[in-house]
Amino acid sequence: MVAESNLEYLVRQVDDSCSLIIKLPPSIQEEGQQFPTPYLVLIDWGHDERDYTAGHPDDAKRLSPEGWNNMMTHIRILAEHAWTKYGVRSVVHPHAGGYIEFEDEIKKLMQDIPHEIAGLYLDTGQIYYSKMDPVQWLRDCANRLDYIHFKDINLDNYQKVMTECIRFFVTCGKGVMCPIGQGIINYKSINRLLKEIDYHGYITVEQEHDPRNCDSSLRDVSQSLA
């Protein structure tokens, strides 16, 4: 979403995605849900210079002011296009290996993109991966939070890959992400917090796997759900 020349291509992607998802059966709308589904998830990702520093806020190159402003302009245009043409709410997903990953970038995103334009979609595992506290961030962003991903992190594997120069999804193939309840993230605290902030939005239970080694996927997601 950074390069100015990408905008036309990105708008076509929004058209392709939204024209499909509005044809799908609608999800149940929960009482108290801030914005109804479906959502268009906007992610900046795919930069070598950031992929190899995912999880390392002190080493990662930041965008220039011009590059950041281009990305914010694109987010506004895409979110407004999805809403006005299709009635689809956009949510921005800070992602490991992208230019919206770390604390300073998420805070600046929230300053630059009003909640009426696009919501925030936080992933507990990626927040931890990027050196932030998931419980604290869910609490601090409660009034901007439209959507959540749950995943967990194997601390031993995480500490090992943090010593390597390695792409984010390669770390997932090394077992950084594990079934919920088997990792370091405190889901009892998250459960209490979501009740405190009266969260009524959707939550996706997710775990990244190496696609060449996914025989345990059903078992793992069943354990996470339990």
pLDDT at 216: 84
Secondary structure class of 28 (helix, strand, coil):
coil
* Beta strands 39-42; 89-92: pairing state: parallel
* Beta strands 202-205; 177-178: pairing state: unpaired
pTM attached to this predicted model: 0.94
pLDDT at 2: 63
Query: What single letter denotes the amino acid at residue 91?
Result: V
CB 73 within 8 A of CB 21: no
**Residue 141's CATH number:** 3.20.20.150
pLDDT at 42: 98
Residue 80 CB contacts under 8 Å (≥ 6 apart), including other chains? 117
Residue 107 CB contacts under 8 Å (≥ 6 apart), including other chains? none
- Rg for the chain, CA atoms, rounded: 17
d(CA 143, CA 130): 22
pLDDT at 210: 76
Secondary structure class of 176 (helix, strand, coil):
coil
pLDDT (tens, 9 = 90+) of the chain, 226 residues, equals: 667 788 999 999 999 999 999 999 989 998 889 899 999 999 999 899 999 999 999 999 999 999 999 999 999 999 999 999 999 999 999 999 999 999 999 999 999 999 999 999 999 999 999 999 999 999 999 999 999 999 999 999 999 999 999 999 999 999 999 999 999 999 999 999 999 999 999 999 988 877 777 788 889 889 998 9
Total structural domains in the chain? 1
CB 207 within 8 A of CB 220: yes
Range of the domain at 189: 4-225
Count of C-beta atoms within a 10 Å radius of residue 166: 19
